[in-house]
Amino acid sequence: MKKTLLTGTAMLCLAAPAFADELNIYYWSDSIAPELIEKFEAETGATVNLDGFNSNEDALTKLQAGASGYDIVTPSQHFVKIMIDEGLLEDIDAKDLAAYGAVDERWKGQWWDPENDYSIPMAYGTAGFAVNRDLYDGPVDSWSVYFEPPESLQGKIASLSYPDEVVGAAELYLGVPFCSEDKSEMKKVYDLLMAQKPFVAAYSSDNIENRLGSGEVAAHFWWDGNVLRTRDAGANLEYAMPKEGLVGWLDSYVVPKGAANVELAKKFIEFMSTEENATIQYNYYAHSAPVKIDESQAKYTPENAPELFPTVPVQFSKACSPAAQDLVTKVWTDLLQ
């Protein structure tokens, strides 16, 4: 009887989906197409639980605290580097995954994961600022419009709540190198942001689409694809192309150290990186795809989505030295006091 029962149990296990389990994902809020979550659950029998973050700093803090309970996180490139250096990620032999074959060559062997052991790219784009054209009809060809706003924008601009890309943009405007350890250079950044502060209505990374789209503010620091999606929804927005350049980012799928479902996480990463699913994701998320998509089915083109096709230089954020990061933190902490 025991032998018969065991055989029956084994048969039941074989009949069940191979990856039936729970997958816990910590991701940029609203960044994965809901239909793909449903499709993955249907194909695998797994339950996917989503928890959103609005800054790389939040994601890093969660992993540093340990026992996060997440199986996948989607940080930007410089935070991938930090997480690798701090031993916070699983080596998933990313270069051996089928998903790696779909990755555009320019994103392989990059400085944040040179051996392609830990990460598979998810999306890339830029950080800049957008204006509501119902409220502001002036030029948007320089960061001066945002950091040293004309009278028509004073008191009507908003920033993000964390320093990462905002400080980077200020550095672009001032000609200060990213991750500078020079206190005098970072004093210039601080002075610029302090002079801007009286004109800033909010420092917030939440509810930006409503704040800018409704006209609560006339300009907001934001990301390319988010501007595109809000514009597509009917808001009269324009994403600036400042001559000094934009701050670049690339988000990736990584697996936290000690994740309970590493194999299921790999399955999800491969699922999201197929041409069909990557195209669905591109059309939903409205950020550029670092993996192969079906161009014939792609919703966004340079003609209808100029936000995704910058005409100015793009400089990607870097993982700063502790000394440089301390200066960034001090600038931001002192600014918000």
Same domain, 46 and 174: no
What string of pLDDT tens digits covers the 337 residues of the chain? Answer: 322 233 333 333 333 444 458 999 999 999 999 999 999 999 999 999 999 999 999 999 999 998 679 999 999 999 999 999 999 999 999 999 999 999 999 999 999 999 999 999 999 999 999 999 999 999 999 999 999 999 999 999 999 999 999 999 999 999 999 999 999 999 999 999 999 999 999 999 999 999 999 999 999 999 999 999 999 999 999 999 999 999 999 999 999 999 999 999 999 999 999 999 999 999 999 999 999 999 999 999 999 999 999 999 999 999 999 999 999 999 999 999 9
Do residues 335 and 195 lie in contact, with contact meaning Cβ atoms separated by under 8 Å?
A: no
Same domain, 69 and 202: no
pTM metric for this prediction: 0.90
Q: What is the CATH number of the domain that holds 57?
A: 3.40.190.10
Same domain, 206 and 239: yes
Same domain, 232 and 270: no
Whether residue 130 lies inside any domain: the answer is yes
Whether residue 49 lies inside any domain: the answer is yes
Same domain, 206 and 317: yes
In sequence order, the 6+-apart residues with CB closer than 8 A to the CB of 143 are 129, 169, 170, 172, 173, 242, 244
Whether residue 118 lies inside any domain: the answer is yes
In sequence order, the 6+-apart residues with CB closer than 8 A to the CB of 164 are 55, 56, 57, 317
Same domain, 285 and 314: no
Residue 317's domain comprises 125-248+310-336
Whether residue 111 lies inside any domain: the answer is yes
Whether residue 303 lies inside any domain: the answer is no
Identity of the residue numbered 146? Y
Q: List C-alpha distances in Å: 186 to 174, 176, 262.
A: 10, 8, 41
Whether residue 302 lies inside any domain: the answer is no
- The tally of domains found in the chain comes to 2
Whether residue 32 lies inside any domain: the answer is yes
Same domain, 41 and 89: yes
Same domain, 160 and 221: yes
